[in-house]
Amino acid sequence: MRRHRRGDDEAEINMTPMLDIVFIMLIFFIVTTSFVKEIGIDVNRPSNAPPKKAKESQVILIEISETGIISINRRQTDMGAVRANVESERSRTPDASVVVVADKDADSGILVRVIDQARKGGATRVSLATDAGS
């Protein structure tokens, strides 16, 4: 009886083809991945510090009620007139900042559109606030 001695040659597995496939798949996924920059708005969040007192003439106040009624400096308006009103107020007081006071039950879509229209109207500083009674 002859005994066959298995050599070390039979125990090896060639890993080169598998590594080639892994690198080809990696290149495929890198090339086909699309990198999209999401567009959003920056929101100045309130802090716990006491609010700074600003002069009434330096603030353009935009209020949004829970029913979606928009008023600018206590005058009721609609969504289409927000940009024009902000532009006219900023022509009188160029350093004025815009403060949007929204009711807690107000539609967030309206809030985003109001902020967008205020920025299109030339407002560089748009802040969110809430009524102290809410």
How far, CA to CA in Å, does 29 sit from each of 88, 105, 112? 51, 44, 36
Residue 9 in domain: no
Give me the CATH number covering residue 109: 3.30.420.270
Residue 6 in domain: no
Residue 65 in domain: yes
Contact yes or no for 95/65 (Cβ under 8 A): no
What pTM, to 2 d.p., does this model score?
0.57
Domain span at residue 121? Answer: 57-129
Domain total of the chain: 1
Residue 108 in domain: yes
In this model, does residue 83 exceed pLDDT 70? yes
pLDDT tens for each residue of 91-131: 888 888 889 988 888 888 888 899 899 888 888 888 888 76
Residue 66 in domain: yes
Q: What is the DSSP track for 74-131? A: TEEE-GGGHHHHHHHHHHH-TTPEEEEEE-TTS-HHHHHHHHHHHHHTT-S-EEEE--
Residues 6+ apart with CB under 8 A from 90: 60, 96, 121, 122, 123
